[in-house]
Structure 1
């Protein structure tokens, strides 16, 4: 690892800068979900949509790794880091989690909509974010789970449910959604582990470019294998569409993975997840206003729930006086 790359791996960002970056990265997720969900519907194949998304992202990261000096240095650092067992070898499988998340988008968003998908993933991510921070799996090490951080996580879940409640107001026919909801719930739960694994690899490679490349390479191999099995059993589905925007899922995923890998070093898993969740809600709100899907409406609860999510992040990140933290943590 060169001195320049070693320095980049150890840069610490304050929450004042890191949280807005996490919010910005989170904006990519609802847009990626809309693109991959639409592509899955057009292809009539959610696995194929995930294959396209990851394959495009992999091509971008290969080109980036070869063209940029930092990318080439990161690639050179990969094998020595793995041989020296700088991290558990199974961390290289972080891309499998990413593949599962993107596949769940293509399989369920056309059925559930972005609202229910977001509720499920956020609930899983909040539960695992606390767990992963407590276990110290990420590059920031173990983080104390005080009462304010738990309160911030609970407020975030409540805010997301409130924000999307107008879009899935209980009808008698909503019971059939229970099983499809389990897929994004599991994908959200695993995301915190993926962020920890990517962040640790970034630390030892010296750049998020290399960690993102490994992530996409692993995920692409798994998705192609899954699609080949599916195609052999049920056929290949519809041909690829000609519109360019169907292929934006890969670049958006690169942004999300790369920024997240950097931020977990400074913020930890839970706070990085909180910021990205705020970005997801803001992005969903913006999509409904600027590019509304059929039947979508911006309700007051959506706006107020988004504001409550931002407040929850403040609760979880501010340096509260010790007396306040102790009283909440009892």
Structure 2
């Protein structure tokens, strides 16, 4: 039976900035995958390309490094000996669901509403997953400060993306479509916890990331073949190299998330990445704006409030710091 890795946990002062920096990659990956979907005129095909290129990259890195090869040798024994629940190897299906949610609902909901729904789901499940102790960091209590930080994060994200909301949408018609990104975001915390637990037993996030991309790629290829049976294929693959960077960026995101949840817990890892995602989106909108992009004051202030919410949720507040102090007795 493979022994869990004894790697020491990262301190919060180091792990949280890494989580924020990892989140910076997500908007760029989304921009690339969105451009690829438009070029191919097929959202599922773009997801297939992204996952498949990511799978090729992480497989090459795993085979080329001693740590990666060691992790590969641990996968089958860990699954066979039930070192963790076997369904954890299907964590990549959650990533595939998230990509499909982007493909099917962003055109209807818009990026703003999609982001709020996904972040809300991920923040709520981060609290739940930590409380259940599914991740490698064990159980973490639901404290008032963690709840407050989560609420502030969702509010800050909604404020930051509020300039992108359209005014003519029929709210009733959006209720059902918004459930898909809400559920996909809710499951993201479980994916991070499952990958984090697998990483402990594989000894490296490389192996967990490889298994993640294997499962996600298999599901997306099946979905694309089914689509071909009822619809014509999209446009041919582009020749520009940058269209294929989304998959490698996903490797970085999934691998670091699997590593960080052991030290930070699922909630704080997720909140840090959400903060990085907003900062990255803001930088992209300023440096490489997409057509119709306007950087408004709420976007900047909402991003700053998100960073403040992370501080609220992560600072080591002393017990009873916010308890009401009894009035001093008169002499």
Asked if these proteins are the same fold (TM beyond 0.5), I'd say: yes
- Distance (whole Å) between structure 2 residues aligned to residue 157 and residue 174 of structure 1: 19
**In 1, are the aligned partners of 2:12 and 2:264 still within 8 Å (CA)?**
yes
Helix, strand or coil at the partner of 2:5: helix
**Does 260-269 or 172-181 show the bigger shift?**
172-181
- Distance (whole Å) between structure 2 residues aligned to residue 178 and residue 239 of structure 1: 35
Gaps of 5+ in 2: 325-331
- TM-score relative to the length of structure 1: 0.93
Helix, strand or coil at the partner of 1:209: helix
- Distance (whole Å) between structure 1 residues aligned to residue 246 and residue 185 of structure 2: 18
1:234 deviates by: 1.2
Query: Does 2:26 match 1:35?
Result: no
Gaps of 5+ in 1: none
- Distance (whole Å) between structure 2 residues aligned to residue 141 and residue 255 of structure 1: 24
- TM-score relative to the length of structure 2: 0.93
Deviations 1:131-151 (A, max 9, x none): 111111000111011000000
Deviations 1:46-86 (A, max 9, x none): 11111000000000011001000000000011111111111
**Does 181-190 or 305-314 show the bigger shift?**
181-190
Residue number in structure 1 paired with 2:5:
6
Given the alignment, which residue of 83, 88, 91 partners 2:88?
91
Helix, strand or coil at the partner of 1:71: helix
Query: Does 2:258 match 1:261?
Result: yes
Please identify the structure whose Cα radius of gyration is greater: 2
1:101 deviates by: 1.2
- Distance (whole Å) between structure 2 residues aligned to residue 100 and residue 68 of structure 1: 30
Distance 1:125 1:89, change over 3 A: same
**Coordinate RMSD, CA, aligned:** 1.8
- Distance (whole Å) between structure 2 residues aligned to residue 272 and residue 138 of structure 1: 11
**In 2, are the aligned partners of 1:281 and 1:306 still within 8 Å (CA)?**
yes
Residue number in structure 2 paired with 1:134:
131
Residue number in structure 2 paired with 1:121:
118
**Does 111-120 or 289-298 show the bigger shift?**
111-120
- Distance (whole Å) between structure 1 residues aligned to residue 60 and residue 322 of structure 2: 47
Residue number in structure 2 paired with 1:167:
164
Distance 1:206 1:24, change over 3 A: same
1:251 deviates by: 0.8
- Distance (whole Å) between structure 2 residues aligned to residue 292 and residue 282 of structure 1: 14
1:119 deviates by: 1.2
**In 2, are the aligned partners of 1:33 and 1:109 still within 8 Å (CA)?**
no
